[in-house]
């Protein structure tokens, strides 16, 4: 640990004055040359970067070091274009130097080479310098002096230079030929990992639970090792097919409820079979930063609340008796993506819902994830399970009417569902029963509707602090 600390000191001294010196005949370009940068971020930890810089080139051969690119760029996707003279440049070779300068990396590059060991006599304060050859760096440093071999050497190590392929910042080194000398506008585009985005939505139900206000936010996460200053930002929503190795995703932070209404400043358009969202102003995406940008704001959106008991189709093919007591009703809300500030295609993300209590404090009441949602489509959220609305479900009769194989059975069964409401107001509960095979209702206490070929639905009114019993008999043919 002591040795690493001393190594940091010597390396820092070599780079504290600014950028590392370029290798001989290499021409540097840095962010100070940048004229414009555009970043398009996709859903799955992928981004397209377009970095435009004004660079001075020599006629014919140039070794161009394009510094401060993403440290996790995919170099095989890099494309350099000459905007000033499209036909006046040809590419020869490119190398991506992502082995960054650290004390350990510098030491590893010197295996087999000489370094200077600087030590100080604690009694006299006299500095002593010796030359040593680096033999190994695994688990510690092994140095060969003229008369001995030592490990864990006290003092500092001084290096004559930094190897050309060891950079203090990620660098793409491009060999090219230019037809003309002088300043030219170049654009480097490449795909990179380390940049991701997701949509987060914060909604608040009103007191009557029949309308909600909703704000949408885009959360950007930059773990790419590069910063993008005053970038033109675009986001692509959709499932883009990729052939790739899996890349590690950056850690996400939780979305917090916003007290203020978001000012939406994103426009959207169709792009192939996806949707493209464009921020109407430049923004800086710093390295190791999570940023949130307003996507939409909608108020007084009509909403429907639903209490649901969902059955299972296996109930109808056997004898079971009790099927559950104190079953909790699922709580759902749904609204349509249109009007009142909605109506744009919504990227997939998490919707978090709040409601104010009697003192006016917003309380979290549930969340659900939505997929990419076109305009005019219904959004349905499950917020949790009801505390005061429960049901007891049982099978009261079962008999086999016919059949000797698994494909010609005829069953008849009867059921009783007792729905209890402990609230001080009446509620309407939806009971949805999946019916297998060819089914026919024989009798029922409340009328059902056939929601689909395999589903019977009842809407049951339950009085305040009371109960309602639903009974029905059904015949099923497999």
Same domain, 131 and 101: no
Q: What are the DSSP E strand ranges found in 83-181?
A: 89-97, 114-120, 127-136, 142-144, 149-151, 156-158, 171-178
Same domain, 167 and 91: yes
Same domain, 101 and 143: no
Please report the pLDDT score of residue 138 as a whole number: 86
- Quote the longest CA-to-CA distance of the chain: 107
Model pLDDT for residues 253-300, shown as the tens digit of each residue? 333 333 344 455 788 888 888 889 999 999 999 999 999 999 999 999
Same domain, 92 and 126: no
Containing domain of residue 414, as a range?
304-337+377-477
CA angle 401, 405, 411 (to 5 degrees): 25
Model pLDDT for residues 57-111, shown as the tens digit of each residue? 999 999 999 999 999 999 999 999 999 999 999 999 998 887 778 888 889 899 9
Please report the pLDDT score of residue 238 as a whole number: 82
Residue percentage of the chain with pLDDT more than 70: 90
Same domain, 128 and 149: yes
Would you say residue 11 has pLDDT above 80? no
pLDDT band of residue 125 (cuts 50, 70, 90) is confident
Model pLDDT for residues 305-335, shown as the tens digit of each residue? 999 999 999 999 899 989 999 999 999 999 9
pTM of the model: 0.74
Give the mean model confidence (pLDDT) for residues 102-126.
90
Task: Give the range among 54-58, 155-159, 368-372 with minimum mean pLDDT.
Answer: 155-159
Would you say residue 20 has pLDDT above 80? no
Model pLDDT for residues 38-49, shown as the tens digit of each residue? 999 998 789 999
Task: Answer with the residue of higher pLDDT: 16 or 180.
Answer: 180
Would you say residue 252 has pLDDT above 80? no
Task: Answer with the residue of higher pLDDT: 461 or 241.
Answer: 461
Same domain, 329 and 470: yes
Residue 422 lies in a domain: yes
Residues 6+ away with beta carbon under 8 Å from 4: 103, 104
Work out the burial of residue 144: count CB atoms within 10 Å of its CB; fewer than 13 is exposed, 13-18 middle, 19 or more buried.
middle
Would you say residue 149 has pLDDT above 50? yes
Please report the pLDDT score of residue 24 as a whole number: 63
Please report the pLDDT score of residue 257 as a whole number: 35
Same domain, 213 and 74: no
Model pLDDT for residues 374-419, shown as the tens digit of each residue? 999 999 999 999 999 999 999 999 999 987 766 788 999 999 999 9
Model pLDDT for residues 213-226, shown as the tens digit of each residue? 999 999 999 999 99
Residue 344 lies in a domain: no
The terminus-to-terminus CA distance of the chain in angstroms comes to 74
Same domain, 381 and 450: yes
Please report the pLDDT score of residue 30 as a whole number: 94
Same domain, 333 and 263: no
Please report the pLDDT score of residue 210 as a whole number: 96
Give the mean model confidence (pLDDT) for residues 6-15.
40
Model pLDDT for residues 420-449, shown as the tens digit of each residue? 999 999 999 999 999 998 999 999 999 999
Give the mean model confidence (pLDDT) for residues 234-259.
56
Residue 358 lies in a domain: no
Residue 46 lies in a domain: no
Name the domain boundary from 173, 191, 209. Answer: 191
Same domain, 102 and 181: yes
Give the mean model confidence (pLDDT) for residues 450-475.
97
Please report the pLDDT score of residue 1 as a whole number: 40
Residue 185 lies in a domain: yes
pLDDT band of residue 242 (cuts 50, 70, 90) is confident
Q: For residue 409, what is the domain's CATH number?
A: 2.60.40
Same domain, 150 and 227: no
Residue 349 lies in a domain: no
Would you say residue 211 has pLDDT above 90? yes
Residue 365 lies in a domain: no
Name the domain boundary from 174, 191, 208. Answer: 191
Same domain, 259 and 292: yes
Would you say residue 159 has pLDDT above 50? yes
Please report the pLDDT score of residue 6 as a whole number: 40
Name the domain boundary from 251, 274, 300. Answer: 300
Q: Please give the tally of structural domains in the chain.
A: 4
Residue 72 lies in a domain: yes
């Amino acid at each position: 640990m002591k040795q690493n600390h001393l190594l940091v000191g010597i390396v820092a001294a070599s780079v504290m004055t600014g950028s590392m010196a370029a290798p001989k005949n290499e021409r540097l370009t840095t962010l100070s040359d940048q004229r414009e940068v555009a970043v398009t971020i996709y859903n799955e930890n992928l981004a397209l970067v377009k970095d435009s810089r004004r660079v001075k080139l020599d006629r014919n051969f140039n070794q161009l070091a394009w510094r401060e690119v993403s440290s996790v760029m995919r170099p095989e996707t890099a494309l350099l274009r000459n905007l000033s003279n499209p036909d006046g440049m040809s590419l020869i070779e490119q190398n991506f130097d992502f082995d960054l300068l650290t004390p350990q990396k510098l030491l590893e590059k010197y295996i087999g080479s000489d370094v200077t060991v600087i030590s100080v006599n604690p009694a006299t304060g006299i500095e002593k310098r010796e030359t040593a050859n680096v033999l190994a760096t695994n688990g510690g440093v092994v140095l060969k002096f003229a008369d001995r071999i030592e490990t864990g050497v006290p003092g500092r190590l001084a290096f004559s230079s930094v190897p050309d392929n060891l950079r203090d910042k990620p660098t793409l080194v491009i060999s090219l030929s230019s037809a003309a000398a002088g300043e030219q506008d170049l654009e480097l585009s490449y795909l990179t990992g380390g940049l991701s985005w997701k949509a987060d939505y914060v909604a608040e139900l009103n007191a009557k639970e029949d309308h909600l206000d909703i704000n949408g936010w885009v959360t950007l996460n930059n773990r790419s090792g590069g910063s993008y200053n005053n970038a033109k930002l675009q986001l692509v929503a959709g499932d883009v097919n990729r052939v790739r190795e899996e890349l590690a995703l950056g850690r996400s932070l939780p979305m917090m409820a916003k007290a203020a209404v978001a000012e939406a400043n994103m426009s959207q358009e169709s792009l192939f079979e996806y949707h493209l969202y464009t921020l109407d102003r430049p923004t800086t995406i710093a390295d190791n930063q999570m940023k949130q940008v307003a996507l939409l704001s909608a108020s007084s959106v009509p909403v429907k609340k639903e209490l649901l008991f969902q059955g299972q189709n296996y109930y109808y093919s056997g004898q079971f008796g009790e099927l559950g007591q104190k079953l909790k009703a699922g709580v759902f809300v749904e609204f349509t993506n249109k009007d009142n500030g909605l109506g744009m295609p919504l990227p997939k993300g998490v919707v978090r819902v709040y409601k104010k209590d009697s003192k006016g404090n917003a309380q979290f009441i549930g969340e659900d994830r939505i997929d990419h949602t076109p305009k005019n489509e219904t959004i349905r959220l499950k917020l949790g399970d009801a505390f005061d609305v429960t049901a007891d479900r049982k099978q009261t009769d079962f008999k086999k009417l016919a059949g000797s194989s698994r494909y010609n059975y005829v069953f008849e069964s009867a059921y009783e569902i007792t729905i209890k409401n402990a609230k001080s107001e009446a509620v309407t509960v939806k009971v949805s029963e999946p019916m297998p095979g060819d089914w026919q209702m024989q009798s029922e206490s409340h009328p059902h509707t056939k929601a689909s070929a395999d589903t019977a639905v009842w809407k049951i009114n339950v009085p305040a602090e009371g109960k309602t019993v639903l009974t029905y008999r059904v015949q099923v043919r497999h």
